Amino acid sequence: MSELKVYNSLTRTKEVFTPVTPGYVGMYVCGPTVYSDVHLGNCRTFISFDIIYRYLKYLGYKVRYVRNITDAGHLEGDRDEGDDKFSKKARLEQLEPMEIVQKYTLGFHKVMELFNNLPPTIEPTATGHISEQIEMVKQIIANGYAYIVDGTVYFDVEKYNKEKPYGILTNRKLEDLLEGTRALGGQDEKKGRLDFALWIKAKPEHLMQWPSPWGMGFPGWHIECSAMSGKYLGKQFDIHGGGMDLAATHHTNEIAQSQACYHTSPVNYWLHTNMLTVNGARMSKTAGNGFLPHQLFTGDHPLLDKAYAPMTVRFFMLQTHYRSTLDFSNEALQAAEKGLKRLWEAYENLSSLVYQDIDNAQLDNELEKRCINLVNGFDESMNDDFNTAKVLANMFELAPVINSLKHGQVLLASISKQTLELLQNKFSAYLFDIFGLKNEKENDSALLDGVLQLLIQIRKEAREKKDFTTSDKIRNKLQQQGITLKDEKNGSVSWAID
Ligand code: AMP
Ligand code: ZN
């Protein structure tokens, strides 16, 4: 099998993936800021990393997957000023800030579950790691890369840049970055325009604040990820991920903080997902063009013609490589719905095939080779920087072959038993374990059957007690719903949709 190659934003090349400790992978993904519902753009990033997590596990790695919850320190705008997002929302909704955090964390988990994302192995919160963040800030000050102004601690970007290239992640020089920032005014406490806060002094009315060596305050947004990734994955770990929008500031600052604290480059492979857009514009909480997952599931949005199942949305995302932009539209979702239906049909046909040796049947060598190549292409595409879109393209090329084998247009014996098994095993591993898709149709019918078996049992008990009013009522009401109960000769009862 080919080796796994990943595109590293830091080196801007595809590299062979070699973890720090053979067999083990440490992966950190920036999680949601829980002051509001996650939108579909956020979900795209979390689904992309869920696939990466699942694929690494499929390859046999033992993965420690850390995805944080940002529940403190994220100010409005990404500058070190203004209210923090939690306090503002708490005032608006008349709740405690931690009630805001709880409400949106639960909502986030529910959405992740609906999309069938696996939970991370550790989900640390910023508020649960204040002391680790303070320790890190103390060390950065001790190493000479930060200064204190009236209870706020700033990272000294220009000093750091004299030793290490600050803009390394996005390949930009300090002069260019400086050009893009506004000049400091008389009010500013910072020494340099690019300096950012590691710890922020809290005004007395600020709702979330903690004691520190510099007085009451709260951590800056960037330090939380450095402190928590360092704590759970070590000073140098394998993969750090997030959306591309985080690279220029948040991740750039994470690198600087860790370097300034531990003198090591914290991350070996930086992975960034591209943005989900609506009519070409990035979907974002602040732009207000965010689709909420439940709006999709109910169809309750002016831009939507109908409701879409979570698996349709997941499949829609898998059809595009994670580093390409993905534009959200009604038509694209409709096409995804049809595509997914075709894929399940092929999968059901494939799993129902039972190999039979037929005397004198001829193996079709060309077909055999084609099937093997296409199915081996699944791993090759995933090893090429997790190219889910290419895997799906191969599956769609195999679908008509599978359907013809099922419907007898092509003899099953045209391919070997091993190839049939290879197809069955790989389709199942990819659809369920790696792509995390669920056959919602199958789930629905299993659920319906469960409910009907219960009603059939209640009807049976009613009849045994000669309560024919109840037993007839069950049968008649079901009949009205288009479901017929049939008393079989052997005493069992079956059901059918008319
Ligand atoms: P936030 O809750 O805004 O901190 O974002 C959570 C995650 O979603 C981060 O990794 C962001 O980079 C990512 N993200 C935000 N907007 C989008 C978008 N439109 N498309 C894809 N990912 C996004
Ligand atoms: Zn982060």
Question: In which band, very low, low, confident or very high, does the pLDDT at 10 lie, cut at 50, 70 and 90?
Answer: very high
> Which ligand has an atom closest to residue 253 CA?
2
Q: Give the closest residue to 259 by CA, choosing from 169, 338, 335, 153.
A: 169
Residues, the chain:
498
| pLDDT-wise least confident of 181-190, 255-264, 481-490 | 181-190
Phi, psi values for residue 440, rounded to 5°: -65, -30
Here the tokens at position 312 are 């349709």
Helix (H) or strand (E) holding 64: strand 62-67
Q: What residue's CA is closest to ligand 1, atom 2? A: 32
Question: In which band, very low, low, confident or very high, does the pLDDT at 445 lie, cut at 50, 70 and 90?
Answer: low
For the segment 81-97, what is each residue's pLDDT rounded down to a tens digit?
Answer: 666 788 888 888 888 88
For residue 4, the tally of other CB atoms under 10 A from its CB is 19
User: What's the confidence (pLDDT) of residue 91?
Assistant: 83
The ligand 1 atom at the shortest distance from the C-alpha of residue 32 is 2
Predicted model pTM: 0.88
Query: 308 to each of 85, 283, 315, 334, 370, how far by Cα in Å?
Result: 31, 19, 11, 8, 34
Q: What percent of the chain has pLDDT over 70?
A: 95
For the segment 102-156, what is each residue's pLDDT rounded down to a tens digit?
Answer: 999 999 999 999 999 999 999 999 999 999 999 999 999 999 999 999 999 999 9
Q: Are 225 and 68 in contact (CB under 8 A)?
A: yes
Q: How far is the CA of 284 from the centre of ligand 1 (A)?
A: 7
Query: 442 to each of 178, 344, 427, 437, 448, how far by Cα in Å?
Result: 57, 10, 16, 12, 10
Q: Is the pLDDT of residue 77 over 80?
A: no
**CA–CA separation, 249 vs 221, rounded Å?**
11
DSSP 27-79: EEE---BTTS---HHHHHHHHHHHHHHHHHHHTT-EEEEEE-BB-S--BSSSS
| Ligand 1 pocket residues where CB is under 6 Å | 30, 32-33, 41-42, 44-45, 242-243, 245-246, 273, 275-276, 282-285
> What contacts 42, CB < 8 A, 6 or more positions away?
32, 243
Q: How far is the CA of 245 from the centre of ligand 1 (A)?
A: 7
For the segment 166-216, what is each residue's pLDDT rounded down to a tens digit?
Answer: 999 999 999 999 988 877 776 778 999 999 999 999 988 888 899 999 999
Look at residue 198 and give its three-state secondary structure: strand
Q: How far is the CA of 33 from the centre of ligand 1 (A)?
A: 9
Query: 301 to each of 311, 312, 375, how far by Cα in Å?
Result: 19, 17, 39
Q: Kindly list the structural domains of the chain, giving each domain's residue range(s) and its CATH number in brackets, ordered by start.
A: 5-273 (3.40.50.620), 297-434 (1.10.730), 442-497 (no CATH)
Q: How far is the CA of 388 from the centre of ligand 1 (A)?
A: 20
> Which ligand has an atom closest to residue 39 CA?
1
For the segment 269-283, what is each residue's pLDDT rounded down to a tens digit?
Answer: 999 999 999 988 999
For residue 170, the tally of other CB atoms under 10 A from its CB is 16
Name the residue of 42, 71, 84, 249 whose CB sits within 8 Å of the most ligand 1 atoms, as the mutation to test its pocket: 42
> What radius of gyration, in Å, describes the C-alpha atoms of the chain?
28
> Which ligand has an atom closest to residue 36 CA?
1
Residue written as token pair 């999968």: 347
| pLDDT-wise least confident of 64-68, 230-234, 334-338, 488-492 | 488-492
Question: Which residues partner with 486 through β-bridges?
Answer: 494
User: What's the confidence (pLDDT) of residue 400?
Assistant: 98
Q: What residue's CA is closest to ligand 1, atom 5? A: 32
**CA–CA separation, 131 vs 69, rounded Å?**
16
Q: Is the pLDDT of residue 373 over 80?
A: yes
> How far is Cα of residue 99 from the mean position of the Cα atoms in its chain?
24
Q: What residue's CA is closest to ligand 1, atom 7? A: 42
DSSP 217-278: EEE-HHHHHHHHHHHHH-SSEEEEEEEGGGIIIIIHHHHHHHHHHHSS--EEEEEEEPPEEE
User: What's the confidence (pLDDT) of residue 361?
Assistant: 73
Q: Is the pLDDT of residue 414 over 90?
A: yes
Q: Give the closest residue to 225 by CA, choosing from 41, 378, 15, 29.
A: 29
Q: Are 170 and 247 in contact (CB under 8 A)?
A: yes
Q: Is the pLDDT of residue 343 over 90?
A: yes
Helix (H) or strand (E) holding 7: strand 5-8
